[in-house]
Structure 1
Amino acid sequence: MKCPNCASTDIGKIGVNQFYCWNCFIELSLQEGKLSLSQVEEDGSLTDLDDLFQDSELEAKANGF
């Protein structure tokens, strides 16, 4: 499994259908066949990064999970 943001393979599972990239510090969630990406902020909140990718990219990358 590779991170769609940085292509690192240093991915950890943090929950059901939830993963974390230890290289670029983003959280990846698989929902309804689509990958959702969020940046974890210093205060623990999440910032949505889905607008940086096209829907077709997120769906295609979700198939790799």
Structure 2
Amino acid sequence: MHNAPTVEPLLTPAEVATIFRVDPKTVTRWAKAGKLTSIRTLGGHRRYKESEVRALLSGSTQQKSGE
């Protein structure tokens, strides 16, 4: 019996932008700068792993509260 691999939820740039309260273009810049790993769809659109976005979010809130 094979277990189906768990599929990581992917977020669009607009969804990531909403989470961070930034412009979607900012999310694209973060991906180009290496802050986020982007996955390209067959149509060439960027998608981001939800777990990585959540990790970055928790890390950024810790940095802000530590200042």
Determine which structure has greater relative contact order: mean sequence separation of CA pairs < 8 Å that are 6+ residues apart, divided by chain length. 2
TM-score (norm 1): 0.27
Q: Greater share of strand residues, 1 or 2? A: 1
Larger Cα-atom Rg: 2
